[in-house]
Amino acid sequence: MGIEPQKASLQRIPNTPIDLTEEQMQDLEILIDKLEDDDVQAVYTNVE
């Protein structure tokens, strides 16, 4: 076809996305920040 991709990447799309309350979101953000401070390469969630 002569079409060459300019960019390609993998995406993680959750099968069952969830909604959290504001308080739960704050707790989750704290947890993710702590995980990222360690030797973690990537963190994925199913939060919308």
The 3-state secondary structure of 1-48 reads CCCCCCCCCCCCCCCCCECCCHHHHHHHHHHHHHHHHCCCCCCCCCEC
> Is-above-0.85 flag for pTM?
no
pLDDT in tens, the chain (48 residues): 788 989 999 888 899 999 999 999 999 999 999 988 878 888 889 998
Determine the Cα–Cα distance for residues 18 and 46; give it in Å rounded to an integer. Answer: 6
pLDDT at 37: 83
